[in-house]
């Protein structure tokens, strides 16, 4: 619920109350029970709210029924996240991907949106080639979805050509992944000396940004910052952002950035690992980078005394030797992180050279 509240505030909503209900299974008609609906009705008179946000996805039927009985706007988790993505999409690619997901979300809800405009009843004007407003809208949405998919596919092909060019030049790629607001963009700025805008908002980075870096030994590689993950990340967004997420599949190494100071750090780790598995990236080599240690330690020297991360091997199942401890905002631990990256990329290049020799 705290995360839902944070999402709502990121979407510029003022949170005036929270309700939780424990049910064996959601109500097919309203998602919540009758008693909770009555409670929401009473709250409306008391605090005059105009929107209710649910932490799960609602069916079109549940959403329509709730709007009828409560007479306010009903927003589910997917719609909320889509709204935040639309707010933060800056590039043409990001805007196209968000719009595609929004249209795919809208399509099954058109019946409720436009049922009052239907002209399916008999009489003049309904015979022959006439069609309902609903059918017209559905056709237009399908047409727009196909157009968006075509434009995104063109971008994907352009990205693919760029990646092939990178491969021919033998330029290794390191990609940053992690839960939203874990500090990926701050780390990206620290490593690349870039000036990306860093916000405390969730999903402040939607479009992949790539920079070339030179390691202390002279070796060069590309570092890419990517969209953050979140619990119950809508499948619509994963599908729409396929062209963007393909950047991860091309990476030689993933840096999984974790906000070590978050009280749900272990759970956020699990969420990211689960999404990586869904994207068939769970076998991709990675270093788990524990960030924001400046909130717990007084100086960079104290990093030397942090030898284990208790939940890592027990709950997550990741090897503790493959971690880095940093404060991206203060630059602590960056040198040692780069040493790990150097070591891995050097070994990878050596193996590639041996494979080519054979």
Fold equal for 2-75 and 171-357:
yes
pLDDT score of 218 more than 90: no
> Which band of pLDDT confidence, cut at 50, 70 and 90, is reported for residue 320?
low
DSSP codes of every residue in 237-282: HHHHTHHHHHHHHT-SEEEEEEETTSTTHHHHHHHHHHHHHHTT-T
Which tokens sit at 62?
A: 């549940």
Output the average pLDDT for the chain.
81
Locate the domains of the chain by residue range: 2-75, 171-357
pLDDT score of 121 more than 50: no
129-167: pLDDT as tens digits:
445 666 778 888 889 999 999 998 888 888 778 777 777
Architecture category of domain 2-75 in CATH:
3-Layer(aba) Sandwich (3.40)
Q: What is the pLDDT of residue 42?
A: 92
CA dist., res. 199 & res. 197, Å (int): 6
175-191: pLDDT as tens digits:
999 998 899 989 998 88
> Which band of pLDDT confidence, cut at 50, 70 and 90, is reported for residue 40?
very high
Whether this model's pTM surpasses 0.85 = no
More confident residue, 332 or 156: 332
Q: What is the pLDDT of residue 356?
A: 46
Q: What's the alpha-carbon Rg for the chain, to the nearest Å?
A: 24
Which phi and psi angles does 324 have, rounded to 5°?
A: -135, 140
Homologous superfamily, domain 171-357: P-loop containing nucleotide triphosphate hydrolases (3.40.50.300)
pLDDT score of 168 more than 80: no
CA dist., res. 137 & res. 142, Å (int): 9
* H or E stretch at 2: helix 2-10
> Which of these, 232, 296, 207, 223, lies nearest to 260 by C-alpha position?
296
Q: What is the pLDDT of residue 113?
A: 54
């Amino acid at each position: 619920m705290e995360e839902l509240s944070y999402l709502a505030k990121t979407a510029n909503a003022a949170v005036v109350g929270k309700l939780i209900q424990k049910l064996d299974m959601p109500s097919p008609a309203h998602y919540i029970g009758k008693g909770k609906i009555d409670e929401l009705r009473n709250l409306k008179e008391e605090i005059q709210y105009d929107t209710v946000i649910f932490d799960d996805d609602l069916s079109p039927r549940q959403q329509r029924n709730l709007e009828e009985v409560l007479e306010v706007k009903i927003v589910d988790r997917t719609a909320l996240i889509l709204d935040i993505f639309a707010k933060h999409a800056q590039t043409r690619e990001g805007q196209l991907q968000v719009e595609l997901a929004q249209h795919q979300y809208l399509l099954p809800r058109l019946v409720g949106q436009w049922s009052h405009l239907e002209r399916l009843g008999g009489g003049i004007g309904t015979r022959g080639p006439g069609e309902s407003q609903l059918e017209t809208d559905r056709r237009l949405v399908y047409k727009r979805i196909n157009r968006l998919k075509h434009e995104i596919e063109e971008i994907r092909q352009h990205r693919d050509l760029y990646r092939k060019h990178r491969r021919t030049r033998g330029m290794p790629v390191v990609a940053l992944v992690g839960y939203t607001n874990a500090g990926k963009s701050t780390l990206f700025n620290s490593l690349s000396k870039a000036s990306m805008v860093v916000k405390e908002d969730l999903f402040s980075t939607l479009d992949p940004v790539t920079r070339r870096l030179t390691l202390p030994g002279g070796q060069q590689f590309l570092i890419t910052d990517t969209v953050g993950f979140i619990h119950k990340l809508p499948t619509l967004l994963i599908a729409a952002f396929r062209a963007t997420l393909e950047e991860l599949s091309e990476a030689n190494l993933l840096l999984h950035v974790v906000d070590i100071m978050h009280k749900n750090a272990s759970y956020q780790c699990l969420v990211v690992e689960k999404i990586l598995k869904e994207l068939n990236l769970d076998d991709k080599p990675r270093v788990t980078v524990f960030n924001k240690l400046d909130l717990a330690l007084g100086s960079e020297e104290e990093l030397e005394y942090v030898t284990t991360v208790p939940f890592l091997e027990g709950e997550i199942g990741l090897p503790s030797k493959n971690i880095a401890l940093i404060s991206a905002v203060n630059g602590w631990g960056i040198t040692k992180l780069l040493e790990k990256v150097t070591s891995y990329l050097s070994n990878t290049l050596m193996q590639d050279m041996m494979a080519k020799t054979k």
